[in-house]
Chains A and B, each alone.
Chain A
């Protein structure tokens, strides 16, 4: 089964989230109260290694295990990023958990989180239903977009647009 390796990566991620206390409601409160460096250090150092990893992939032109050229999708900036991001923040502070930790709580024995996961699914579902009526105004001009596009030069811009459209 070719997806089995992702079970292993997920397991590793679940251990890191739990042992790193990132799934702790108390740690999230501590973060939003600026009373410890723990969460800032955790996320900040994750971003640094993620960035270095991506740079290494670009620099050495590494391919994926199945021989594909690595492709990164740019993140589109639209009105929803601001509104949705803020709504997400409200939920993050209340539940003390973002989606990864929501799942981790099932393993850590906090059973009520099954309700929270179902609510989160419902939230996603309601978004899907309301999507045609919600503002998604583009907040970047084309010049800015070019700047944030991440593919290497040989990639066709049309392909990127198509992929971004499918992903969002």
Chain B
């Protein structure tokens, strides 16, 4: 049994099960699927500020979401340690060729180790990928009103026009980085 689970899981196993999170959370306690709001909760809980966006936010009322992300960490740990996760075994050969041309050589994990490592953190490249990238994720998700879970999965499941616009925005940004900026970052 464990051997079967340790094989790579195709998209048609993981995708539908992720989609089930939407009704599951609604039925479990009328909770709306969305992860990026936990960043706002963390700010409200940790940083003393007068900004109304955090001060007037009752983060404790949404504390279920903090349990949910704690679960994500545990789930990823479990997958990596026991279920053979933590790699990308059947990556497209075209992608490997294109990324190799940029100078990436190690495709064994989940991220290119040449870029995402502690000693690279203080270089321009490391700063852009690890620090600036994270900042844009946090800023953009809140300004846009959601992330991949809240807009792409929850919002599109609700047939929300705003979520479609947000997802188009995600792609405009992602395509710009991938096709125009990426060559300058290596």
Interface residues of A (CB under 8 A from B): 2-33, 35-39, 41-54, 56-57, 62, 64-66, 68, 70-78, 80-100, 102-113, 115-129, 131, 134, 140, 144, 148, 150, 168
Taking CB atoms, residues of chain A closer than 8 Å to B20 are 49-50, 53
Residues of B within 8 A of A93 (CB): 173-178, 182
Any A CB within 8 A of the CB of B23: yes
Q: Check if A107 sits within 8 Å of B25, measured CB to CB.
A: no
| Residues B134 and A120 in contact, CB atoms below 8 Å apart | yes
Assess whether A47 is in contact with B157, with CB atoms less than 8 Å apart: yes
Partner of A26, one of B51, B63, B91, B147: B91
Which residue from B17, B23, B53, B98 sits with its C-beta under 8 Å from A54? B23
Given known contacts A24-B88, A107-B77, A122-B138, A36 and B162 CB-to-CB distance under 8 angstroms: no
* CA A17 to CA B35, docked complex, whole Å: 13
Neighbour of A7 across the interface among B21, B46, B68, B107, CB < 8 A: B68
* Chain A positions within 8 Å of B21 at CB level: 9, 12-13, 50
Q: Which of B73, B92, B118, B166 contacts A112 (CB 8 A)?
A: B118
- The smallest C-beta distance from B68 to any residue of chain A, in angstroms, reads 4
Which chain A residues border B86 with CB–CB below 8 Å? Answer: 18, 108-109
Identify the interface centre among B141, B153, B177: most chain A CB within 10 Å of its CB: B141
What A residues does B70 contact at CB under 8 A? 7, 10
Q: Is B76 a contact of A36 with CB atoms below 8 Å? A: no
**A91 contacts B133, C-beta separation under 8 Å:** yes
10 contacts between A and B (CB under 8 A): A25-B110, A28-B174, A39-B11, A75-B163, A81-B166, A85-B167, A93-B176, A94-B177, A112-B130, A131-B53
Whether A13 and B18, one on each chain, are in contact in the complex, defined by CB atoms closer than 8 angstroms, is yes
Say whether A22 contacts B14, CB under 8 Å.
yes
Q: Which of A31, A74, A89 has the most CB of B within 10 A?
A: A89
Q: In whole angstroms, how far apart are the Cα atoms of A22 and B17 in the complex? A: 13
